[in-house]
Structure 1
Amino acid sequence: MAATEAFAPAKLNLTLHVTGQRADGYHLLDSLVVFADVGDRLTLTPGPAMRIDLSGPFATGVPTDARNLVWRAAEAAAWCGHIALEKNLPHGAGIGGGSSDAAAVLRAIAGRGAGADVALSLGADVPVCLSGAPQRMQGVGERLSPVPDVPALDLVLVNPGAHVATPDVFRAMDRRDNPAMDVCGAWPDRGAFLRWLLDQRNDLQEPACGIAPAIRDALAALKDAELSRMSGSGATCFGIYPDEVAAKTAAQEIAARHPGWWVVATRTSASPKVS
């Protein structure tokens, strides 16, 4: 049977404001999310039984049964067969690895119109990963709004190898009712976008640094960037650079100084042009 290939890009929270907490314990978020050109790759081949085979630099430790979100996504879409998953993104790293993988499965099977309820049932980040374009994500991940005029960005992603559990980071927060993002969208140019971005936050960055001080080291390594920040609940950090050459040069220098870290230069997708 014909195989279908899918790409699961890294998800980056350029901002992540924690604005409240529901009675059921779920936190309310306000985040600007974009997607990079680095990610995991999947090949789906229909068949009589579910099977996941792993490859790639971060395959170790990834489950190959129903604990894996790609398995659950396939079952939710009433699909069965063989999934070859190439893990190029570190897992538990704040860049949506498992969620993006699950969204890629849903896109491959049902397209971007896959049910929002199905996507949300798999995890808070799956709906935004299903969109694949810059979005403002609010609530617990279910409220998505396309954001116009987000420019493409040349970034360096750095993960120092630290692992932080998301529940631990939320528990370490001193305050959960922080201000929402400023009004976003319709920036006239890249400079205006960066000035806006500098005024926003990741409210999980300081709690995560308290749990894993290596995150501060990653941010320090990105000191020459126009802006550096942690993505999601960590431990991956990003630095924004003026252009592709500057990003690649910075990535090479950081990787040489820290050979045990995951360091990659990448570019994010811009908002779709409105005709």
Structure 2
Amino acid sequence: MTHQWPAPAKINLFLYITGKRSDGYHLLQTLFQFLDYGDTLYITKTVGGRVRLLNPVAGVTEKNNLIVQAALMLQRYCWKTNDPTTPGADIWLEKVLPMGGGLGGGSSDAATVLVALNAQWGCGLTITTLTRLGLIIGADVPVFVRGTAAFAEGIGEQLTPVVLVEKWYLIAVPPVNIATSSIFSDPNLQRNAQYCSLDQLMSVTFQNVCEQVAKKHFPSVEQHLLWLLKYAPSRMTGTGACVFAEFDTEDAARQVFLQTPVWMRSFVAKGMNVSPLHRALSLMQK
């Protein structure tokens, strides 16, 4: 039987860097919220242990694909090598989230695989264990596995659940792919933001310190951002390239969406405090 699973986008409502570890990872303070928009994975449980991504992503080898990595990691954790009872999976990815867009597409896909296969394979692992496995894949994976809007610290793995206003967003997608490493390696990136409590950060205007670096190297990011700023508070998500404007109502967001110029790719989405992935999991378990 094939099951359909959402892999939602996330946005960083603010992002500050408070330092850098000796291993090169940056110390963050950021606020994650999910969107009701994202990729979709269709997963069929198979026998014999083989994991297949039926439609590989262009430019990404199977070895480097986070979907395959996540499935194999879960499989190794739950079954011994050469165990004849080891299940496999055929996975079809419906990809709509841009690569290098700051919306967490690859991390979300990996998290969905961990959560979905844990259910379909009957692994019985807790969310805490799945989160620990997800962190091995990437720093953004844990928030998708846990499935609640969160204030994140450390390298992004120290998560405090939060309840946020679920606003509407107009997301603009500049035609560039920004590698996180290109932003974090820039010498002009501000890495000394003052460490603040969540209450302090919630009481000031939200900012993303990566935005200035991204605009410097990718003019289209600034072009899209300047257009959005004419209509609503706007900023970049993650390390880019996507930028978003926030609105109190769907109607307000769609009114601006209808005015977007022909050179701008964009979509409207609602912020969500509970991930669509976990809503799907709850329905499956009923």
Q: TM-score, normalised by structure 2?
A: 0.82
Show CA shifts across 1:91-111 (max 9, x none). 111010000000111111226
Out of 147, 166, 169, the position equivalent to 1:155 is 169
- Tell me which residue corresponds to 1:201: 207
Alignment of 1:122-201 (within 5 A): 122-148=137-163, 150-174=164-188, 175-184=190-199, 196=203, 199-201=205-207
CA spacing shift, 1:222–1:182, aligned 2, 3 Å:
farther
Partner of 1:12: helix, strand, or coil?
strand
Q: How many residues align?
A: 254
How big is the alpha-carbon RMSD for the aligned residues of Structure 1 and Structure 2?
2.2
- Superposition deviation, residue 182 in structure 1: 4.7
Q: Work out the CA distance in 2 between the residues paired with 1:159 and 1:222.
A: 12
Of 255, 262, 271, 1:258 maps to 262
5+ residue gaps in structure 2? 76-86, 120-125, 276-286
Look up the SS of the partner of 1:268 in the other structure. strand
In our comparison, the structure showing a higher alpha carbon Rg is 2
CA distance in 1, matches of 2:52, 2:57: 17
Q: Aligned equivalents of 1:66 and 1:80: distance in 2?
A: 16
Q: How high is the TM-score relative to the length of structure 1?
A: 0.86
Say which is worse superposed, 168-177 or 156-165, in terms of deviation.
Answer: 168-177
Provide the C-alpha distance between the structure 2 equivalents of 1:109 and 1:135, rounded to a whole number of angstroms: 24
* Residues 222-249 of structure 1: CA deviation (Å, up to 9, x unaligned): 1234310100000000100131011112
| Residues 6-42 of structure 1: per-residue CA shift (max 9 Å, x gap) | 1011011111111100011110011000000010000
- What is the alpha-carbon distance in structure 2 between the residues aligned to residue 249 and residue 81 of structure 1? 42
**Identical residues among aligned pairs (%):** 32
- 1:53 CA displacement: 2.5
Unpaired runs of at least 5, structure 1: 186-192
Task: Sort the Cα spacing of 1:173 and 1:240 in 2 relative to 1 into closer, same or farther, 3 A.
Answer: farther
Aligned-residue offset at 1:137: 0.9
Letter in 2 for 1:221: W
